[in-house]
């Protein structure tokens, strides 16, 4: 399911990252890699703050929807 | 021989704090050639021959952001003697990702694990000795904020640089990847030195075209790429990224012991409240209210009054001691030495009055900048960008555009400069073009003048000015987004949020000073020069065919009056076509606060108060309220002062874009002012003329651009992005 559907505080495993190549690369550099663990800290209107490899990253709704987790 | 040490690390890892601690005030700040990325260089305290180079904060050495390209070109091309790699201890796994890349460059690397105090407070442990052994480089613990361990780190870096002890990457990828890398390394030409071979081999495998263009001989490795992509069922770049993270996870377990059981850190808990969907905006509003209340009304007023009426006015008292103001001191000094009349006039009426009026804003601005620097340093500003992104996205801007606009309420120059943190090229250009619509500190006197003179000090004039500014930004966003140049969605919002922390006093003051200084500098240079020109053209002119210095009441004969009469017809449709208003608007280009002073001089007062109380009556007699409001709107929206234009030119880094920005701003100002005047006159007096029709046409055109064009656009080009302006990939993501 997309990251936008995840409840806050629940750790999830990243399965796939879609979207434009540059954005995907940037997310990889920030620690979003397939198999990594992502936890949602908070969410406003689809935009979310997530925790990845001990760092906090804010991502817009249009990007969050392209990150698949389970 | 001097030693060069490069500081490299992720954004928000404390790199700048460390750089400041290592170099003190011994810094040189500039730009990397050809790009608007800041370049900071400094000499190590107590070591004249050691140069520290502060590289931009980066997450990787990939070619996707300008900062990354700048940093890696420096590391490959200039080859510093050592790299001091700063690693955020609270976020070590992600930070090591960059470290693995730095170690492949064939340059001695020393790692400084920063924020050790916080790591210990969290109850975590980092085993430095094991980390050092696993990574194959020296590792030291530091806390840049508290200053512990930094000298040791610098000393070790110097020793390492002298030994030329090149870091040999001990980390290995999967055997399949390594064997392919070996083949690629064999194929590399002789122009690549041995210790850089691994770096180039990896970059070639990643299909990095920027690296390829830097090589003399590019070997054909398409077979190798195909082979490994088939094997891993992924593209080479992702394979390498994955291999790096796999390697890091394989060593991190031994080197890092997590002490805390609670998975939420303090920062996470604060974020739960501060970025909460219900509380986020109210909290933000309260914070902003406090910032502006303090810096504009209480402390700000006190500081501005002191500067304007004390330092550059009658005088002020220092612990009961009466200190006369600068004009009075200069006046008596100049009279004492028997200075010529014209020079006396130039210095007092020209330079001191002009430059003094500008410098009078400095204290208030510095108070505002202290607050903004604090909000930035503690980590809240990044959250503001996140909160505002939802709203800004609706009219085609990114949440990161909000910070430049916030700073722009103080002064447009640092505001425009703050747009650098926006990585997407289109978003940044649009922010640069619209930031100066927000009334800056220097536009407030114009607002006060018009409100006081024509509207009896009505409360709504000042808020309406901000409203006009915000509306101009929103409409510009919507309209510009529809042009070919700006078409396409704003780049997805991705930004790392730093942990909340208490900033040091030194860092806040330094940031305040850097921004304030850009304003003071303009007062000392461009404004100084132009006040002399304005003074000269005001007080000299032809009287009865003779060129001479004018008496106070002969201003109608001045050069300035001739220039004003020559251009004033342009402003007739806007309702203020007399030469005095035209001249005032022109001097506003020098510095907006000049508008008030110029009116003062033109109406025969040598010096007027900041809001021009003395000339309210005369001004009210010379134009209608509607015309005055049109004058206000024009001055708010048109091309900003020379200093801000300079900042726009620097940040656009392109003459065509600069003129487009200035032209757009002025055209918008003209059209909006014209509509204000013509419609205002129509409604109040019922007079209808050819100009009313023109204004109506402009207005309809504007509405068309705003709504209708968008409708057609959506009809015919659903979801299709313009291919004419491709997303500037090299400029893409930079999070700060």
Q: Which of B107, B129, B163 is the last residue of a domain?
A: B163
Whether B40 and B143 share a structural domain? yes
- Token code pair at residue B20: 């400041």
- Whether residue B18 contacts residue B150, with contact meaning beta carbons closer than 8 Å, is answered with yes
Which among B277, B389, B498 is the nearest to A60, CB-wise?
B389
Residue B631 predicted with pLDDT over 90: yes
- Token code pair at residue B288: 């902003």
Rounded to the nearest angstrom, the minimum Cα separation between B467 and chain A is 26
Is residue B319 in some structural domain?
A: no
Residue B735 predicted with pLDDT over 50: no
In order, the DSSP letters of A1-46 are -BGGGPPTT-EEEEEEE-S-HHHHHHHHHTT--TT-EEEEEEEETT
**Host H or E run for residue B475:** helix B461-481
In this predicted structure, which of B66-80, B156-170, B212-226, B418-432 has the lowest mean pLDDT?
Answer: B156-170
pLDDT band at B390 (very low <50, low <70, confident <90, very high): confident
Gap between the Cα atoms of B650 and B632, Å rounded: 27
Q: How far apart are the first and last CA of chain A?
A: 6
Burial class (CB in 10 A: 0-12, 13-18, 19+), B294: middle
* List of chain B residues whose C-beta atoms are within 8 Å of the C-beta of residue A47: 386, 389-390, 493
Which long-range contacts link B102-105 to residues 24+ away (Cβ below 8 Å)? B102/B8, B102/B61, B102/B75, B103/B135, B103/B136, B103/B137, B103/B167, B103/B169, B103/B171, B104/B169, B104/B198, B104/B199, B104/B202, B105/B75, B105/B76, B105/B196, B105/B199
Residue B721 predicted with pLDDT over 60: no
- Give residue B722's pLDDT: 39
DSSP letter at B42?
E
B150-167 CB burial, b ≥16 within 10 A, e <16: beebbebbbebbeeeeeb
Which among A11, A53, A57 is the nearest to B494, CB-wise?
A57
- Give residue B167's pLDDT: 62
Range of the domain at A50: 3-69
Residue B84 predicted with pLDDT over 90: yes
Domains identified in chain B, total number:
2
More confident: B296 or A22: A22
Range list of β-strands (E), B263-307: none
Instruction: Express each pLDDT in B273-315 by its tens digit.
Output: 888 888 888 999 899 888 888 877 777 777 777 777 777 777 7
CATH code at position B215? 1.10.287.1770
What is the pLDDT averaged over residues B623-637?
Answer: 91
Whether B70 and B182 share a structural domain? no
pLDDT band at B607 (very low <50, low <70, confident <90, very high): low
Interface test with A, best of B387, B425, B492 (most A CBs within 10 A): B492
Query: How would you list the strands of the sheet with A37-44, edge to edge?
Result: A67-69, A11-17, A37-44, A47-52, A55-59, B494-497
pLDDT band at B717 (very low <50, low <70, confident <90, very high): very low
Whether B104 and B232 share a structural domain? no
Q: Is A65 on the interface with B (CB under 8 A)?
A: no
Strand, helix or coil for residue B65 = coil
What is the pLDDT averaged over residues B339-367?
Answer: 76
Residue of A nearest to B236 (CA): A25
Residue B629 predicted with pLDDT over 70: yes
- Give residue B165's pLDDT: 66
pLDDT band at B552 (very low <50, low <70, confident <90, very high): low
Whether B188 and B121 share a structural domain? no
> Model pTM?
0.79
In order, the DSSP letters of B69-103 are HHHHHIIIII--SEEEEEEEGGGHHHHHHHHHHHG
Q: Which of B113, B135, B163 is the last residue of a domain?
A: B163
Instruction: Express each pLDDT in B152-190 by its tens digit.
Output: 999 999 998 888 767 676 788 888 889 888 888 888 877
Instruction: Express each pLDDT in A24-53 by its tens digit.
Output: 888 888 889 888 889 988 888 788 899 888
Is residue B545 in some structural domain?
A: no
In this predicted structure, which of B265-274, B277-286, B454-463, B595-604 has the lowest mean pLDDT?
Answer: B595-604
Whether B139 and B198 share a structural domain? no
Whether B271 sits inside 8 A of A30 (CB atoms) is no
Cα angle: B187, vertex B191, B194; to 5 degrees: 70
Gap between the Cα atoms of B564 and B359, Å rounded: 27
Is residue B725 in some structural domain?
A: no
Longest dimension (CA), chain A: 28
pLDDT band at B606 (very low <50, low <70, confident <90, very high): low
Residue of B nearest to A51 (CA): B268
Residue B415 predicted with pLDDT over 70: yes
Residue B53 predicted with pLDDT over 90: yes
User: In the predicted model, what is the mean pLDDT of chain B?
Assistant: 82
Strands B321-324 and B3-9: unpaired
Domains identified in chain A, total number:
1
Give me the sign of the Cα torsion angle B55, B60, B65, B69. Answer: positive
CATH code at position A31? 2.30.30.90
More confident: B716 or B370: B370
**Host H or E run for residue B421:** none
- Whether residue B83 contacts residue B108, with contact meaning beta carbons closer than 8 Å, is answered with yes
Closest C-alpha to A33, from B537, B493, B246: B246
Residue B708 predicted with pLDDT over 80: no
Percent of residues, chain B, with pLDDT higher than 90: 15
Q: Is A38 on the interface with B (CB under 8 A)?
A: no
Strand, helix or coil for residue B373 = helix
What is the pLDDT averaged over residues B320-343?
Answer: 78
Whether B230 and B82 share a structural domain? no
**Host H or E run for residue B320:** none
- Whether residue B138 contacts residue B206, with contact meaning beta carbons closer than 8 Å, is answered with no
CB-based contacts of B9, cutoff 8 Å, min separation 6: B15, B57, B85, B86, B87, B88, B95, B98, B114
Residue B341 predicted with pLDDT over 90: no
Closest C-alpha to B86, from B103, B110, B69, B62: B110
Closest C-alpha to B583, from B603, B569, B563: B563
- Whether residue B567 contacts residue B584, with contact meaning beta carbons closer than 8 Å, is answered with no
In this predicted structure, which of B245-254, B339-348, B522-531 has the lowest mean pLDDT?
Answer: B522-531
Name the residue with tokens 């447009």.
B412
Closest C-alpha to B388, from B291, B478, B281: B281
Interface test with B, best of A60, A61, A66 (most B CBs within 10 A): A60
pLDDT band at B261 (very low <50, low <70, confident <90, very high): low
Whether B57 and B204 share a structural domain? no
Cα angle: B336, vertex B341, B347; to 5 degrees: 80
Gap between the Cα atoms of A37 and A6, Å rounded: 13
pLDDT band at B673 (very low <50, low <70, confident <90, very high): very high
CATH code at position B17? 3.40.50.300
- Whether residue B543 contacts residue B554, with contact meaning beta carbons closer than 8 Å, is answered with yes
- Give residue B319's pLDDT: 66
Residue of B nearest to A46 (CA): B390
Residue A60 predicted with pLDDT over 50: yes
In order, the DSSP letters of B110-155 are EEEEE-HHHHHHTT-EE-HHHHHHHHTSEEEE-BTTTTBSHHHHHH
**Host H or E run for residue B228:** helix B222-232
Q: Which of B131, B163, B195 is the last residue of a domain?
A: B163
Annotated binding site of B for Mg(2+): 20-21, 23-24
Whether B132 and B217 share a structural domain? no
Strands B50-54 and B38-43: antiparallel
Is residue B422 in some structural domain?
A: no
Query: Residues 497 to 536 of B: which have CB under 8 A from any A CB?
Result: 497-499
Range of the domain at B76: 3-163
Whether B49 and B122 share a structural domain? yes
Is residue B50 in some structural domain?
A: yes
More confident: B613 or B723: B613
Highest mean pLDDT among B32-41, B146-155, B262-271: B146-155
- Token code pair at residue B690: 């050819």
Is residue B702 in some structural domain?
A: no
- Token code pair at residue B384: 């503001």
B222-232 helix and B175-187 helix, angle to the nearest 10 degrees: 170
Residue B125 predicted with pLDDT over 50: yes
Whether A51 sits inside 8 A of B268 (CB atoms) is yes
Is residue B526 in some structural domain?
A: no
* List of chain A residues whose C-beta atoms are within 8 Å of the C-beta of residue B263: 9, 11, 39
- Give residue B436's pLDDT: 92
Longest dimension (CA), chain B: 94
CB-based contacts of A39, cutoff 8 Å, min separation 6: A9, A10, A11, A12, A50, A51, A52, B263
Burial class (CB in 10 A: 0-12, 13-18, 19+), B618: middle
Whether B26 and B93 share a structural domain? yes
Whether B153 and B196 share a structural domain? no
Whether B213 and B92 share a structural domain? no
Phi-psi category of B24—alpha, beta or left, where left has phi over 0 and alpha has psi -120 to 50? Answer: left
Instruction: Express each pLDDT in B584-602 by its tens digit.
Output: 888 888 778 778 877 877 7
- Give residue B523's pLDDT: 66
Whether B277 sits inside 8 A of A44 (CB atoms) is yes
Phi, psi torsion values for B436, nearest 5 degrees: -80, 0
- Give residue B725's pLDDT: 37
Strand, helix or coil for residue B324 = strand
Is residue B385 in some structural domain?
A: no
Gap between the Cα atoms of B605 and B603, Å rounded: 6
DSSP letter at B192?
S
Name the residue with tokens 């990457």.
B169
Q: Is A70 on the interface with B (CB under 8 A)?
A: no
Residue B121 CA from chain centroid, whole number: 34
Name the residue with tokens 């461009």.
B526
- Give residue B122's pLDDT: 79
Gap between the Cα atoms of B659 and B643, Å rounded: 15
- Token code pair at residue A35: 């198999």
DSSP letter at B427?
H
């Amino acid at each position: 399911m997309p990251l936008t559907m995840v409840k806050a505080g629940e750790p999830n495993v990243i399965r796939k990252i879609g979207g434009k190549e540059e954005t995907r690369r940037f997310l990889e550099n920030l620690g979003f890699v397939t198999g990594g663990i992502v936890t949602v800290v908070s969410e406003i209107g689809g935009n979310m703050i997530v925790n990845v490899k001990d760092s906090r990253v804010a991502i817009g709704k249009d990007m969050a929807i392209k990150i698949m987790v389970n | 021989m001097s030693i060069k040490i490069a500081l490299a690390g992720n954004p928000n890892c404390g790199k700048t704090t460390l750089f400041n601690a290592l170099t003190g005030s011994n810094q040189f700040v500039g730009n990397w050639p050809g790009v608007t990325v800041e370049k900071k260089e400094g000499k190590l305290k107590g070591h004249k021959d050691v140069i520290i180079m502060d590289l931009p904060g980066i997450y990787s050495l990939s070619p996707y952001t300008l900062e990354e390209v700048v940093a890696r070109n420096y590391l490959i091309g200039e080859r510093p003697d050592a790299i001091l790699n700063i690693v955020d201890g609270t976020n070590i796994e992600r930070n090591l990702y960059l470290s693995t890349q730095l170690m492949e460059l064939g340059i001695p690397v020393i790692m400084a694990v920063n924020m050790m105090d916080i790591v210990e407070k969290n109850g975590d442990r980092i085993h430095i000795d094991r980390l050092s052994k696993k990574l194959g480089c020296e590792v030291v613990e530091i806390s840049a904020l508290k200053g512990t361990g930094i000298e040791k780190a610098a000393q070790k870096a110097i020793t390492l640089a002298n030994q030329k002890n090149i870091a040999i990457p001990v980390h290995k990828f999967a055997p399949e990847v390594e064997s392919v890398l070996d083949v690629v390394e064999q194929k590399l030409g002789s122009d690549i030195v041995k210790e850089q071979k691994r770096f180039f081999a990896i970059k070639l495998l990643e299909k990095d075209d920027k690296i390829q263009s830097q090589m003399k001989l590019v070997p054909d490795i398409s077979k190798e790429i195909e082979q490994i992509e088939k094997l891993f069922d992924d593209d080479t770049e992702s394979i390498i990224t994955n291999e790096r993270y796999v390697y890091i996870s394989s060593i991190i377990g031994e080197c890092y012991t997590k002490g805390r059981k609670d998975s939420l850190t303090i920062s996470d808990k604060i974020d739960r409240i501060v970025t909460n969907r219900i509380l986020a905006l109210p909290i933000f509003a309260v914070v902003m209210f406090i910032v502006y209340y303090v810096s504009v009304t209480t402390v700000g007023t006190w500081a501005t009054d002191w500067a304007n009426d004390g330092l550059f006015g009658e005088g002020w008292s220092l612990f009961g001691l009466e200190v006369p103001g600068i004009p009075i001191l200069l006046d008596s000094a100049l009279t004492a030495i028997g200075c010529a009349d014209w020079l006396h006039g130039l210095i007092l009426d020209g330079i001191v009055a002009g430059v003094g009026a500008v410098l009078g804003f400095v204290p208030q601005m510095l108070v505002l900048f202290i607050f903004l620097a604090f909000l930035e340093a503690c980590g809240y500003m990044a959250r503001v960008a996140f909160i505002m992104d939802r709203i800004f996205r609706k009219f085609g801007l990114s949440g990161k555009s909000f910070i430049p606009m916030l700073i722009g309420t103080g002064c447009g120059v640092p505001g425009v400069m703050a747009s650098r943190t926006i990585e997407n090229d289109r978003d940044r250009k649009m922010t640069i073009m619209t930031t100066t619509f927000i009334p800056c500190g220097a536009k407030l006197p114009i607002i006060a003048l018009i409100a006081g003179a024509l509207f009896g000090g009505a409360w709504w004039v000042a808020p309406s000015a901000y409203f006009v500014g915000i509306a101009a930004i929103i409409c510009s966003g919507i309209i510009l987004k529809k042009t070919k140049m700006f078409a396409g969605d704003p780049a997805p919002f991705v930004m790392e949020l730093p942990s909340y922390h208490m900033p040091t006093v030194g860092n806040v003051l330094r940031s305040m000073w850097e921004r304030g200084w850009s304003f003071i500098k303009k007062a000392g240079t461009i404004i100084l020069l132009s006040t002399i020109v304005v003074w000269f053209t005001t007080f000299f002119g032809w009287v009865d065919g003779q060129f001479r210095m004018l008496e106070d009441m002969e201003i109608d004969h001045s050069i300035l009056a001739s220039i004003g009469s020559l251009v004033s017809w342009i402003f007739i449709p806007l309702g203020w076509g007399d030469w005095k208003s035209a001249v005032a608007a022109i001097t506003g280009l020098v510095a907006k606060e000049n508008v008030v002073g110029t009116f003062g001089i033109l109406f025969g007062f040598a010096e007027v108060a900041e809001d021009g109380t003395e000339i309210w009556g005369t001004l009210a007699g010379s134009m209608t309220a509607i015309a005055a409001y049109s004058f206000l709107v024009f001055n708010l929206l048109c091309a900003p002062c020379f200093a801000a234009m300079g900042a726009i030119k620097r940040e656009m880094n392109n003459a065509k874009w600069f003129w487009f920005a200035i032209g757009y701003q002025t055209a918008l100002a003209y059209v909006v002012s014209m509509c204000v005047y013509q419609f205002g006159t129509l409604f109040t007096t019922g007079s209808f003329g050819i100009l009313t029709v023109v204004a109506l046409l402009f207005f309809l055109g504007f509405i068309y651009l705003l709504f209708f064009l968008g409708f057609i656009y959506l009809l015919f080009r659903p979801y299709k992005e313009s291919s004419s302006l491709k997303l500037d990939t090299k400029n893409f993501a930079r999070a700060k």
